[in-house]
Structure formats: structure tokens, C-alpha cells
Structure 1
Amino acid sequence: MNDANKSSATPKPKEDKGDPRLRNVERFGIKFDHNGRPIFPKNERGLFILPKDEKRLPFFPVDEKARPIFPYDYTKGESAFPVDDTDEPIFPRNAHNKPIVPNDKNGQPLFPKDVSGNFIFPLNENNCPIPALTLEGLPVVPKDAYGNFVIPKIVTEIL
């Protein structure tokens, strides 16, 4: 067979896989801001909520390293926590089911606070407050205004 008679196959263009974060959430209709941060939907009170997948279940977008991507609050200039239907903050979990918190604009772990200014800790299976992990996987608790660590306390209710 003559090589000149063979039709030369045109090479297929390589697929541009792009940013893995975009692939993760693009199919759910999430838009991105000019800094590449996903724009999270908000509830009627103006609090961030999680987007919904095709089964209408909330999900946390993740980056290329499977770390959660938190909503960004431009008024505070740092990450924020999405809330559930009762306006309680949602802590994303890693592959080991450990809660994760982002860092604030000063590089310190960011924990949500209640209306009284008390830190809200993630809860374990027994509804006991527990420390969280940073995005890097290090265990962490928040610090108060004086730089002291705030340790979660088990709250018992007197009946």
C-alpha cells in the first residue's frame, strides 16, 4: 500500500480540561466572580446557602484537591459559612468525616459566631462540640479577642 494514498488523519484537538473547580460546579449553573470564586445563592435573609445538585440535594463545591470552597463575603472581605434551613452554619466534612473551617483574612481559622458573639463549633455524632480542621488538615480551635484558645464545652441542659 502506498503511503501517499493514505488519507492523513487530522490530529484531534486536545480537550481543554480547564480549572477542575469549574467542572465541579459548572453543571449546576453556579456563576463565578472576577476572582474565580463561585457565587453562592442566598436565602431570603441574605445568608449564603449551598447550591443544589441534580437530585436537589445541597452540596459543597470542592477544588482540585477535594477541599471545600467556601462562599466569599465581600462586605467582610473573607470566607463565610453557608447555612441550612434553620440558619445554622454548615461545616463541610473531609473524606474522614471531620469538619473543616477556612482561614480568615489574617490567616487565622474562621469559626462562625452566634448573635451573642459566641463561637459555633461543629458537632459530632453525639451532638457534642468538637474542634475542626483547617483546609490543610490541622486540628484547630478559635482564639478569643485576647489570643486565648476557645475550647468547645459540652452544653448540658437541666431538665
Structure 2
Amino acid sequence: MKIISIILMLIFISGCATFNPADRGIVFVNDKPYKVPYNSRYWYVDSEVKKNLKRMGISCKIGQVSWVNSKYANANVSEKERDAIIKSGNIGCSSVVSKEEMNYHIESQKVQAMQQQAAAAQSQAISSAVQAYKPRYTQCFRTGSFVSCNTF
């Protein structure tokens, strides 16, 4: 049982350390919701930020939020490395989220939380059942015509 717990913990930890630009959460910037990837740093795109991004080959519009994988947020990289980072999807832009998309995101987060709670409860029930299970066996001895049995 300990081995399974350790494996699950390692999977959980390694999953937290990865960056997936498609796995996004809602953040509020200037009181407006934007979807940005988890484990990223982000900032509002104004005219100055837009110019800097354009020099790097990234086209964001004023009013969007630009984001970068937090692993590269403060990195000094060469132009070649920067191009690789951009091509690999570690930098991007997000527009304001619509009310419908915001509501969908909130509802999907609620469903996901309920599923996680149900899975945790099921896992706890299985763990309790496994710990409560005690194999029993009966051992009998014959002494002459007398039989003696013990259950363990």
C-alpha cells in the first residue's frame, strides 16, 4: 500500500512541475478575466509591451494579456533559444474571456472538484477495506479421537 501511495505522490508532483499551455486558469487583470496557462507569468499588453513583443516576433494586441512559462520568465536567452521557446508554445497571448466561457470554466472547475472528492472518498474506502481485511484460517489437530481447531 505504501508503494502505491509513493507512486501516486510522484505522479502528482511531476504533474505539477510540467507546463502545458492548453491547461489554463482564469486570472483577473484590470478587473477583466483572462485564461492563462498554469505555471506562467503574465502581464497586460499596452503599447510599450506590444512593441517589445513585436521585436521578439510575438504579435499581441493592446488589451490582451501576454504570458510566458514561468521557467523562462527571468531567463537571459540567446535569440536562437528564444525562437525555440516561442515555437514550443511557452509564450503567448490571451484575450478577455466572455461571460459564457467564464461560466463554463467555473462550472467545469466545480465538476472537477466533485470528481476529485468522489475519487478521494472511494480511495479512502478501498484503503480502509484493505486495512480492515484480515485473512483468517483454521488449523485443526487430531489427538487420538479428539479433534481440536483454532481459527487465526
Measured against the shorter chain, the TM-score band is under 0.3
The structure whose Rg is larger is: 2
Greater relative contact order (Cα 8 A, min sep 6): structure 1 or 2?
Answer: 2
More strand by proportion, 1 or 2? 2
If the length of structure 1 is used for normalisation, what is the TM-score? 0.20
If the length of structure 2 is used for normalisation, what is the TM-score? 0.21
